[in-house]
Amino acid sequence: MSEIAPRKLLKGETGDWEVVIGLEVHAQVSSKSKLFSGAPATYGAGPNENVSLVDAAMPGMLPVINRYCVEQAIRTGLGLNAQINTWSRFDRKNYFYPDLPQGYQISQYLDPIVGEGEIEVELGPEETITVGIERLHLEQDAGKSIHDLSPTDSYVDLNRSGVALMEIVSKPEMRSGEEASAYFGKLRTIVRYLGTCDGNMDQGSMRADVNVSVRRPGEELGTRTETKNVNSLKFVRQVVEYEARRQIEVLEAGGTIDQETRLFNVKTGETRTMRSKEDAHDYRYFPDPDLLPLEFEQAWVEEIRASLPELPDAKKHRFVEQYGLPPYDASVLAADKTAAAYFEAVAEGQDGKMAANWVMGDLFGALNKEGLEISDSPVSATQLGGLIGLIKDNTISGKIAKEVFALMFSGEEIGTPAEIVEKRGLKQVTDTGAIEAVIDKIIADNPKQVEQVKEKPKTMGWFVGQVMKEMGGKANPQAVNQILKAKLGVE
Ligand code: ADP
Ligand code: MG
């Protein structure tokens, strides 16, 4: 186990205890067929519709490796900046379970296809950490037992049996629930970019086994517990926080932690014992005699590398360079491929920072409120870009722009922002003569306020408000301020 430098505690009342977390993430490979059979790997089929003789483990059936799944594992390894092993091997992990007809799972134990790597994880505007990857290996999923269809019988659905999974194992380098959950989210972003897993946690395509232990900083790693099948970012954080608190309480009361497998209850936010943890030797791992070692050329790896899309970190760094965005804003926009593309379309030929502010502020806010995805945005990137252009060249003020945005978002107005501004007569008045006329009238009508502003210059704001009201918010704010100052004698 690698030695870990103590890092400052983030959130959570851990006192002088340090929390140590490592995640094993199962990510279902996006592929048409299963890892060792030609049966479909699609989600949502009827019970046992996607089961071949191989998946049902009929006697004499032989597994044949799916080249595309191997390619997907390599692609993911490259996305994790990891070592790709051109020689790896499949092992049998032996155990009995009613939804595992073979009596063993084909997995990779000593020689995984992907070795060590690392990824950047953003925690917030000020903080990015690097988390080490221990390995990624390929393995088959098991089927599913269903116990709630009948009071007396259990059923087995083997559709998932044999579907390819990538198990991505982190180093024990995370130190809080927040870090663990951000890491899980970053993995999802990466596999979605790569197209190697759909990342749909609620459908079980991505789930995490959360390993948690506590120790006094500088001491050896403590005994860990492993909480199985946690399928949301929020739950990962809850598991860590619950487990850390529980373990600290046990240790502070003079007890010891049992190395065990636990289950998370999403309703109560608590974990409970499932079974004591087995060791690797309990599984009697041995190389699967039905399969040759998996060997491929480095040239193939290079071919896959050359075909990778721009990844979120590269995109983030480019956004910082090209548009002058703060790194955190850049990472938020880069986290989702569609959002990133939308932002770039808005920013084309416009002020990049303004584009980022509008996308992350007004647009994301409005979409959230309506529960819409960016791909369903009623305001197109071209429209938003046009709107920013109108602010930039002083055709409209920022305040009027928000009005125009709301009109476009609600569908009340269609067309380009310039057309809408024209049609609704929202153009900013920069004609100083017109502004002056309004100001003169307000000054003449309000002698008391004019007296007051001489003593309290701050009350000039009242005049600005009056002018804006009179002119329907369309007066150029700089011009209004300038003329008012001159006329009222405010410094
Ligand atoms: P397994 O759980 O299958 O026996 P490993 O020994 O490889 O597999 O460890 C699995 C995960 O547990 C890894 O993500 C690793 O970082 C994490 N881990 C190992 N030791 C600790 C520890 N003391 N505290 C927290 N996490 C740990
Ligand atoms: Mg484990």
Q: What is the CATH number of the domain that holds 480?
A: 1.10.10
**79 CB near ligand 1 (under 6 Å):** no
Determine phi and psi for 320, rounding to 5 degrees: -65, -50
Residues 104 and 191 in one domain: yes
Residues 122 and 262 in one domain: yes
271 neighbors 264 (Cβ within 8 angstroms): yes
DSSP secondary-structure letter at 386?
H
End residue of a domain, out of 239, 269, 304: 304
End residue of a domain, out of 368, 396, 424: 424
Residues 325 and 288 in one domain: no
In a domain, 259, yes or no: yes
Ligand 1 centre and the CA of 22: distance in Å?
6
Rg (CA), the chain: 30
State the residue range of the domain holding 359. Answer: 310-424
**23 CB near ligand 1 (under 6 Å):** yes
Residues 408 and 443 in one domain: no
SS3 state of residue 266: coil
Cβ-Cβ contacts under 8 Å for 353 (sequence gap 6 or more): 323, 324, 325
Ligand 1 centre and the CA of 168: distance in Å?
12
Q: What is the pLDDT of residue 232?
A: 96
How is 106-170 classified by DSSP, letter by letter? EE--SS-SB--EEEEEEEETTEEEEEEEEEEEEEE---EEE-SS-SS--EEE-TTTT-EEEEEEE
Q: What is the pLDDT of residue 480?
A: 87
Q: What is the pLDDT of residue 5?
A: 43
Q: What is the pLDDT of residue 14?
A: 63
- Supply the angle between the helices 477-488 and 460-470 in degrees, to the nearest 10: 130
In a domain, 166, yes or no: yes
In a domain, 103, yes or no: yes
Split into its structural domains, the chain has a count of 3
User: Which tokens belong to 215?
Assistant: 């120790």
**213 CB near ligand 1 (under 6 Å):** yes
CA of 259, nearest ligand number: 1
In a domain, 5, yes or no: no
Q: What is the pLDDT of residue 1?
A: 42
257 neighbors 227 (Cβ within 8 angstroms): no
Q: What is the pLDDT of residue 430?
A: 76
End residue of a domain, out of 279, 304, 329: 304
**221 CB near ligand 1 (under 6 Å):** yes
Strand 18-28 to 164-170 pairing: antiparallel
Q: What is the pLDDT of residue 278?
A: 73
Residues 103 and 211 in one domain: yes
**112 CB near ligand 1 (under 6 Å):** no
CB atoms within 5 A of ion ligand 2 belong to 24
DSSP secondary-structure letter at 218?
T
The one-letter amino acid code at 279 reads D
In a domain, 138, yes or no: yes
Ligand 1 centre and the CA of 172: distance in Å?
7
Distance, in Å, from the CA atom of 489 to the CA atom of 457, rounded to the nearest integer, reads 9
CA of 224, nearest ligand number: 1
Residues 331 and 209 in one domain: no
Determine phi and psi for 270, rounding to 5 degrees: -110, 160
Distance, in Å, from the CA atom of 9 to the CA atom of 54, rounded to the nearest integer, reads 49
Residues 259 and 358 in one domain: no
How far CA 65 is from CA of 54, 117, 385, in Å, comes to 12, 25, 49
Cβ-Cβ contacts under 8 Å for 57 (sequence gap 6 or more): 101, 102, 103
SS3 state of residue 345: helix
Residues 32 and 139 in one domain: yes
Residues 191 and 210 in one domain: yes
Residues 213 and 134 in one domain: yes
Distance, in Å, from the CA atom of 169 to the CA atom of 149, rounded to the nearest integer, reads 35
Cβ-Cβ contacts under 8 Å for 436 (sequence gap 6 or more): 483
Of 446, 447, 460, nearest to 489 by C-alpha is: 460
SS3 state of residue 305: helix
User: Which tokens belong to 382?
Assistant: 């071209």
Mutate to test the pocket of ligand 1, among 2, 169, 174 (most ligand atoms within 8 A of CB): 169
| pTM, 2 dp | 0.84
Task: Indicate which residue's Cα is closest to atom 17 of ligand 1.
Answer: 22
How far CA 458 is from CA of 453, 462, 463, in Å, comes to 7, 9, 10
Residues 436 and 420 in one domain: no
Residues 145 and 89 in one domain: yes
What is the mean pLDDT of each successive set of 10 residues along the chain, which is 491 residues long? 44 74 98 97 92 96 97 98 98 94 96 97 89 98 94 95 98 96 97 96 95 93 96 96 95 94 93 82 93 98 97 94 94 93 95 96 96 94 95 89 95 93 85 86 90 87 89 84 87 74
In a domain, 384, yes or no: yes
In a domain, 1, yes or no: no
In a domain, 38, yes or no: yes
